[in-house]
Amino acid sequence: MSARKLNPHTQRSHISSCKRLAAYVKRSPDTATADEIRLFQLHLTETGASICNRNRIVTGLRFLFRVTLRRLDLAAEIYHIKEPQKIPLVMSPDEAKRLSAMAGNLKVPVLLALGYGAGLRAGEAVRLSVGDIDRAQNIIRIVQAKGRKDRHVMLSPETLHLLRQWWKVRPARYDTGVPQEQRWLFPGRKPGKPMTTRQLNRLFHETADAAGIKKAATLHALRHSFATHLLERGTDIRIIQALLGHDKLDTTARYTRVATGMISAIESPLDLLCEPRRTPRKRGKASQPA
């Protein structure tokens, strides 16, 4: 896994999957049989594992048998379940405004602005450094994000204003000897580390409760809202694709299903069918003005 440069989180997930299989068969996973592999997958279903969690586990097992052990016969017994396609949960502009207004301290509205105003993921927002903010071009550089890809997103004047305010009060106790361009914008509790996404998620839910938002919104809903509201304002979908860092346009196109502003503006064929027929103008003399 290290040779293939898998993400540390992915490596931990794969190891956890192998431990789970070992606990089921009560011996080393490399001695498992095809029948045990099939029974283990049935066991996951019977114990109520979600489709997402089940697919995560079998992904780790497939890596074990296909790559590590070269047991292609066992890897062939592992299958994924197609996940149901769900419409992304989107917040309204009013809810996003209420969320920002109820933020407890300055750090929270800055992070919310990066999510809703630039479409950043939680991990991308907390790992921003000073050098990622390009004030000359009004862009934010996202370095080696999901899929090991770099991209640029817009830096709005409001976001820049919030970042400047935050920089004045930002804790700097761990910045001694660190060049300014390499300093974290949101330092964590451990020296030399940024704040964690868990801490950011906790702050988001506390703010959402204070704002009275009842829907089951998550921090990622800000990214969904960013894309949907841009689409409703007429932004080209390929530009949104580049801003979000999607490889496939199909991934971005799902926001057309939740762009309620665009959907409600579509004229129904029933309205056209029931539209009163205009009285045709009589030929001959032109109608005189009243």
Catalytic annotation, residues: 121, 146, 220, 223, 246, 255
Contact status, residue 65 vs residue 55, Cβ threshold 8 Å: no
Contact between 118 and 223 (Cβ < 8 Å)? no
Question: CA 169, CA 100: separation in Å to the nearest integer?
Answer: 18
Helix, coil or strand: residue 275: coil
CA angle 66, 68, 70 (to 5 degrees): 50
Bridge partners for 184 per DSSP? 129
Give exposure, 187-203, as e/b (b: 16+ Cβ within 10 Å): beeeeeebbbbebbeeb
Q: Are 262 and 232 in contact (CB under 8 A)?
A: yes
Q: How many helices (H) and strands (E) does the chain have?
A: 14, 3
How open is the CA angle 249-252-257, to the nearest 5 degrees?
A: 120
Residue 33 CA to residue 217 CA, distance in Å, equals 43
